[in-house]
Chain A
Amino acid sequence: MAPVIQKKKNPASKEDIQKDFVEAINLSFTSYKNQVKNNRKLRLIDIFGAILVVVGIFQIAFVGMIQDNYPFNAFLAGFIICVGQFVLLMCLRLQLTHPFEGISKSKAFGEFIIASLILHFTCLHFIN
């Protein structure tokens, strides 16, 4: 998708800025929709990412609610597995949309699986 270059106007009034902002959001939203519409894998990645965000936020909310982080290693393991999995997932997504030179998409997916397994292994040991 070709990047949209906006013409420079004189941002004199607040309304103009607001208009620009709304326009920018709409543009990125539509471009995202276009990107995902025909690609099931990307959609799958995004759903998984959303699950990870929800689980991570839930754990932080839990710690805030009970006002105690007593098995702190357990909390760290639970939270880090969410963050780490999310980061790996985003790396995979980047490679699918903008493949690196010399690295095929299936190789990228294989690396993603290996890295994730290492992450799970580490976290399971950390939570003891």
Chain B
Amino acid sequence: MLGLRYIQLFLVLVCSILAAAKSAVGSRTLVVFDDRVDDLSTYSDFFNLLKDHEFDVTTLELSDKSTKINLFERDTRLYDHLILFPVKGKHYSKQLAAKKLIRFNENGGNILALTVPQVSSDPIHLYLNQLGIYPSPRTQSLHDLFQDSTDLLFSVDQLENENVYSKTNEKKDELFNFGESVSAALLDNREQIVPILQASKTSFTSGNKSREASWTDGSQGYVIAGFQNLKNTRSTWIGSVKFLSNNHFKQNQDLINELISWTLQEKSVIKATEVSHTHSGDDKVSYDELPYKVTDNVTYTIALTQWDGQKWVPYVSDDVQFELRQIDPYYRITMTAQGPAPQDPASELYSTGSFMLPNRHGMFTFITDYKRSGLSYIHEADIKAIRHLANDEYPRSFEIPNAWVYLASIATVIISFIAFVLFFISTPASLSEGVSTEKKTN
């Protein structure tokens, strides 16, 4: 019995390793939906795409109140990715409270959330608000009076992030169909937010009541927005469900594909594999062998690697910077790519070249803080002490030409002092015994 269970466990492990070939973090995906809002069969193309990406999809229908959603089992995450279709009702709010979603995201789970104007999915809205994405409230939907069709169309030019969707010349005149009811969001200006698809200049949101103020006007609204937290897990919000439906799938396939790749961490995932700094020179003496002192020459290197969907490959870029900080940066050096790292050919080696430490002692941070919108964040910091010169490491006075003048004056003073003393002793007190007038007065 026990043996059987071990075999089972082993099989599950092997399966998960094979399946993980696509996403850099894992493949277990949970899709939450509500039959009352949407029939899942109208999204079959989308699910086929997920299967093509080798995701291990579990679906969960929420109209039945007895369904429970467990994202964790005893602090272990059960899923790597979560896809949330709009769902109605209080039951859902309890099962998927915003707190639970945040915990899931903080523990490394990626979330793809969809909202529509007709349904108020409160927990999703609360969660997105925590991230700094503020979708339009219920009943407010996006309109564009300059478009002829009832379906809202968005062009490739409105896409903002090259790391999510790279615009090439072939895709220049592509249009994406978002269906009739689309919600737009206002975005906070925090750095973790990745704006993806901007609403057109002629668009606006409006509700049923004519007096209601619009939620977004023109290009301040966004239809797709991403968020990457400091642990590099991602969330993406899409303001329309019809965007994924079979009717528009052909038209939107490119963007859907890229969105899935980005959100579920199949691309734009980079990490640092090796960070080191040593004394300059061929023998590369490390800090542990010989601590740094002021004005030493030091070389800093870092190796970066990128997930290309199948394996780790070198990440090549020309804007990776190194900083040497003590509160303020003393150095900010753009590092040059040196080719694949000798120890690990799957990563690209970056080097600052040899640079001289500042003439200032204290605790310094050797840091690479590479944060680009849409790419995984890299923050590699190493705090090291740089010591001042010991008292026998300063140059002696006679080695400094300027000091020769002062040395000569001291010699003059001492020699003339000796001469003075000799003369003073050898001369009689007074010449003609005049013994000065002082004595008389005394």
| Chain A residues near B (Cβ < 8 Å) | 1-2, 34-35, 37-41, 44-45, 48, 51-52, 55-56, 58-59, 62, 66, 68, 70-71, 73-75, 77-79, 81-82, 85, 97-98, 109, 113, 116, 120, 123-124, 127-128
Contact = CB atoms under 8 A, between A and B. Distances in A.
Contact of A66 (B402, B434, B437): B402
Output the residue of B406, B424, B436 with the most chain A CB within 10 A: B406
Contact of B436 (A39, A52, A70, A124): A39
Given A68-B402, A71-B402, A77-B406, A52 B437 contact: no
B407 to A, nearest CB: 6
A44 B409 contact: no
Contacts of B429: 39, 41
Contacts of B402: 66, 68, 70-71, 74
B428 A35 contact: no
Would you list the 3 A-B pairs with minimal beta carbon distance, nearest first?
A78-B406, A38-B434, A74-B403
Which of A35, A39, A98 has most chain B Cβ within 10 Å? Answer: A39
Contacts of B438: 1, 97-98
A63 B368 CA distance: 44
Contacts of A48: 416-417, 420
Given A44-B424, A74-B397, A77-B410, A1 B437 contact: yes
A71 B406 contact: yes
Contacts of B441: 1-2
Contact of B423 (A44, A55, A59, A77): A44
B396 interface: yes
B385 interface: no
A40 B416 contact: no
11 contacts: A2-B441, A35-B436, A38-B434, A39-B429, A39-B430, A45-B424, A51-B416, A71-B400, A75-B406, A85-B413, A128-B396
A10 B208 CA distance: 107
B409 A59 contact: yes
Given A59-B406, A74-B402, A127-B406, A113 B431 contact: no
Q: Which of A78, A97, A98, A123 has most B Cβ within 10 Å?
A: A78
Contact of B397 (A35, A58, A128): A128
Which residue of B410, B421, B432, B436 has the most chain A CB atoms within 10 A of its CB atom?
A: B410
A127 B410 contact: yes
B4 interface: no
Count chain B CB atoms within 10 A of each CB in A1, A40, A113 and give the residue with the most: A40
A4 to B, nearest CB: 13
A71 B427 contact: no
Contacts of A51: 412, 416
A117 to B, nearest CB: 9
B37 interface: no
A106 to B, nearest CB: 10
Contacts of A77: 406, 410
Contacts of B437: 1, 34-35
A51 B411 CA distance: 13
B431 to A, nearest CB: 5
B431 A40 contact: yes
A1 B431 CA distance: 19
B230 interface: no
Nearest to A1: B437
Contact of B405 (A78, A113, A124): A78
B15 interface: no
B9 interface: no
Nearest to A69: B402
B389 interface: no
Contacts of A71: 397, 400, 402-403, 406
A127 B403 contact: yes
Contacts of B420: 44-45, 48
Contacts of A1: 437-438, 441
Given A41-B424, A127-B410, 6 more contacts: A45-B420, A48-B420, A55-B413, A120-B413, A124-B410, A128-B394
Nearest to B429: A41
Given A41-B429, A59-B405, A120-B417, A78 B410 contact: yes
B307 to A, nearest CB: 55
A38 B432 contact: yes
B414 interface: yes
B424 A120 contact: no
B409 A81 contact: yes
A63 B417 CA distance: 24
Given A35-B437, A74-B406, A75-B406, A109 B424 contact: yes
